[in-house]
Amino acid sequence: MSEARWTVVMPVKRLPAAKSRLRGALPGVPHEELALALAADTLRAVRACPAVAGVLVVTDDSRVAAAAGAAGARVVGDPGGGLNAAFRHGAAVAGPRAAVVGLTADLPALRPAELAAALRATRGVRGFVADAPGGGTVLLAAPAGAPLAPRFGPGSAAAHAAGGALPLAGEWPSLRRDVDTPADLAGAAGLGVGPRTAALLARVGGAVRYGAGMQGTVATYDASTRSGVLLLDDGTELAFPARAFDASGLRLLRLGQRVRIERDADGEVVRVTLPTMA
């Protein structure tokens, strides 16, 4: 494929619901600002890639739409139905004559040259780039006339390969480093992130928090399974497993009870306890 032939489709959730496992990762930084920064820095790098002719951002969030429009992207509404539906909708809007790239919106360290190299590696066939751990997908490319057929989600790398997409080999560390968890964010920071994310990291001295100190209230609790759902202060619901309750040393939880939440580097809840307990 020659340069400047690709249309990138980039879905972005409504910011309050986006990147839930990153909540509290940057102390004092509103979660929506972080989610928007990740998308904005991804879009900035995509727009700077010489292989990209245009970008379609699929979103129903007004702040994302404004930022995307200001960056020169075309914005289309999210049809609902999840991430793959958004990718399919964007590909349909691009049209059958477009070579389409489905790209996740959480690549703040992305280098335009690495994106261009990955697109050259497709050699005119449908291909995908797995994320750094290897199980997920950050990029799915389809040449003109071929369906995008996205299968993003858990195990998507295997699903895309099973669907006939070619696994693209290449180091491309900035392209493979998507950000779902605090550990991912720290890894991206080590590679060097774009200006929006870098500014937020600077506000907290580069400190990425791994979940300690978050608080919320108990929305549901099942004593038989020792699991339930917490309501965080920003209105987000966060499920916790039995092992998180067991680690607390508590005998029970009651609805509406104030609790402190601790998460690991992957964003998983590992302890639910009282704010007054060490």
Cβ atoms of 10 and 75 within 8 Å: the answer is no
Question: Count of domains in the chain?
Answer: 2
Local structure of 134: helix, strand or coil:
coil
Residue 76, strand partner residues: 58
Question: Is 20 annotated for ligand binding?
Answer: no
pLDDT at 153: 94
Checking if the pLDDT of 213 tops 60, the result is no
- At 266 the three-state DSSP class reads coil
pLDDT tens, residue by residue, 22-46: 888 888 889 999 999 999 999 999 9
pLDDT at 210: 59
Report the chain's mean pLDDT, rounded to a whole number.
Answer: 91
Q: Does 185 share its domain with 167? A: yes
Residues 142 and 256 in one domain: no
Q: Is residue 28 part of a domain?
A: yes
pLDDT of residue 138: 98
> Does pLDDT of 207 surpass 80?
no
How would residue 215 be classed by pLDDT, with cut points 50, 70 and 90?
Answer: confident
* Tens of pLDDT, residues 86-125: 999 999 999 999 999 999 999 999 999 999 999 999 988 9
Q: Do 168 and 190 belong to one domain?
A: yes
Q: Are residues 192 and 265 in the same domain?
A: no
**pLDDT for 277:** 62
| Nearest-angstrom CA–CA distance, 19 and 16 | 9
Contact between 30 and 235 under an 8 Å Cβ cutoff? The reply is: no
- Residue 256 sits in which domain range? 214-273
In a domain, 129, yes or no: yes
Looking at the fold, whether 167 and 263 belong to one and the same domain comes out as no
Report the alpha-carbon distance of residue 117 to residue 121 in Å, rounded. Answer: 6
Q: Both 133 and 229 in a single domain?
A: no
What is the value of pTM for the model shown? 0.80
Residue type, 180: D
Q: Per-residue pLDDT tens for 224-271?
A: 999 998 887 666 678 899 999 998 888 889 999 988 888 776 677 888
Q: Is 224 annotated as a binding residue?
A: no
162/63 same-domain check: yes
pLDDT of residue 2: 47
Q: What pLDDT score was predicted for residue 248?
A: 85
Asked whether 55 and 101 are in contact (CB, 8 A), the reply is no
pLDDT, average across residues 199-203: 92
More confident residue, 278 or 196: 196
Task: Check whether residue 190 and residue 63 sit in a common domain.
Answer: yes
Yes or no: say if 42 and 108 are a contact pair by the CB < 8 Å rule.
Answer: yes
Q: Please report how many Cα atoms fall inside a 13 Å half-sphere around the Cα of residue 86, on the Cβ side.
A: 25
